[in-house]
Amino acid sequence: MEQVRAAEGALMAQLPEGALMQRAAAGLAHAVLALLAGPAGDQPAYGRRVLLLVGGGDNGGDALWAGARLAARGCAVEAVLLSDHARADGLAALRAAGGRVVPAGTAHRPDVVLDGIVGIGGRPGLRPDAVAELGRYAGVPVVAVDTPSGVDVDTGEVDGAHVTATLTVTFGTHKPCHLLDPAALACGPVHLVGLGLDLPAPAVEALQPDDVAALLPVPGPLDHKYSRGVVGVRAGSATYPGAGLLSVLGAAVGLVGMVRYVGDDLVGDRVREAHPEVVGAGRVQAWLVGSGSGDGAAGTLDEALADDVPLVVDADALVHLTAPAPGHAVLTPHAGELARMLDVAREDVEARPLHHVRAAVDRYRCTVLLKGRHTLVAAPGHPVRVTTTGTPWLATAGAGDVLGGLVGALLAAGLEPYDAASVGSWLHGAAATTAADGGPLTASAVAGALPGVVRDLLRAAPRGGSPAP
């Protein structure tokens, strides 16, 4: 977070003293009032109890100044100081507005707790006194100031006790822990308060709808089926025919001019029955290999590599891939598969996904898409992209096969591997959310929703944009 601190310092040098903290406090107070107002926005703030848990950093100051604003609106605000170095100006403002500082363990049960314990410079884990004070208010909504105290801000890792927030109000820009699991799970919804910071390129970013629309392959008036791209699918087997069908389904959503299926004859017959537009062997611009290939995965991988075109390597083929891989490859492991590739425990991959996806890039020297609740896409020389679209209902059999086919189609359409993987993952998650509509879904339904998601993106978004950090 050195980049954020440097940007804040540069801006503070141009503004009156305390102006930046006042901006943050105003946004924080507004978010707390909205939470207190309830879903319908009709609950009064007057008389509601707010507890501030205040550390010695700037986010403790943000909490105190926000508390002063809330007290001025009629809230009953109490503060427990968990540091001997709480900001004096914030304390004075809180008291002047009618707020009170109380000893630990003596506060009234609040309607909301503001977590201003540790800021972006803090280390993972919380001190016992902070854990004890938090424990007194189990079940009370918690608003984290900037980041939930106790998480690792830069890596998204957690180690020891930490705050689990109902809402996180962050300032200036999203921090990696807002995007990266497992810390992202502790953030709840994240509300961004803009501060006008001049920030460098981030190490971690998340595509927004306009970014995805700008990267989508859109045919021109002179395009034909070959110029739009041909993707080949080497997936499925007599044992796992569904993997071949679903991989084709993901590839055949209209983003390329042609899909070829090469594989088991029985699967091929079923593919052509379901998708008469799919053809057989021939020249391709990209391959998808490995999904449901079983014992034939090594052979299909070798044949695809021999073509020297971009390829997606998934599932069974991943264990046969040697490092380094071709630079135009996209590897699509889930946590268990990446654990086997790196010879580590699955639990370690799940606890440190950013670390391990970067380790995979260092070993294989190509694009790696690590599937998960928040999928990560990493490639040499690029920031890690985090996919925040999706729904828990997407954890269903065959969803990864659809994703592989979709990424393969985007590769064949001409996207660079890094963009194909991150755009494919974003579209896959958005289609799942659309198909689920708050309820269960199947992998086939995800594929069925993809054309509509693409259409809506192109209608709504301008061509152009850049990823949001």
β-strands 367-370, 329-331 pairing = parallel
Known binding residue 371? Answer is: yes
DSSP annotation of 259 reads E
CA dist., res. 446 & res. 429, Å (int) = 8
Find where tokens 């509601």 sit: 48
Closest CA to 61 of 113, 135, 12, 117: 117
Find where tokens 């034909």 sit: 224
β-strands 167-171, 76-81 pairing = unpaired
What is the SS3 string spanning 343-412?
CCCHHHHHHCHHHHHHHHHHHHCCEEEECCCCCEEECCCCCEEECCCCCHHHCCCCHHHHHHHHHHHHHH
Lookup: tokens for 294: 């079983």
Known binding residue 400? Answer is: yes
CA angle 402, 404, 407 (to 5 degrees): 110
β-strands 367-370, 376-378 pairing = antiparallel
Lookup: tokens for 89: 């100006």
What angle separates helix 2-12 from helix 19-37, to the nearest 10 degrees? 110
CA dist., res. 403 & res. 274, Å (int) = 19
Known binding residue 373? Answer is: yes
Lookup: tokens for 390: 């999706």
Known binding residue 334? Answer is: yes
| CB count in 10 Å sphere of residue 437 | 12
CA dist., res. 29 & res. 31, Å (int) = 5
Region of 97 (left: φ > 0; alpha: ψ -120 to 50; beta: rest) is alpha
Known binding residue 372? Answer is: yes
What's the one-letter identity of residue 144?
A: A
> Exposed, middle or buried: residue 222 (CB in 10 Å: 0-12, 13-18, 19+)?
exposed
Cβ-contact 210, 405 below 8 angstroms: no
> Exposed, middle or buried: residue 26 (CB in 10 Å: 0-12, 13-18, 19+)?
middle
Binding-site residue set for (6S)-NADPHX: 243, 292, 334, 401
Binding-site residue set: 243, 292, 334, 371-375, 400-401
Binding-site residue set for AMP: 371-375, 400
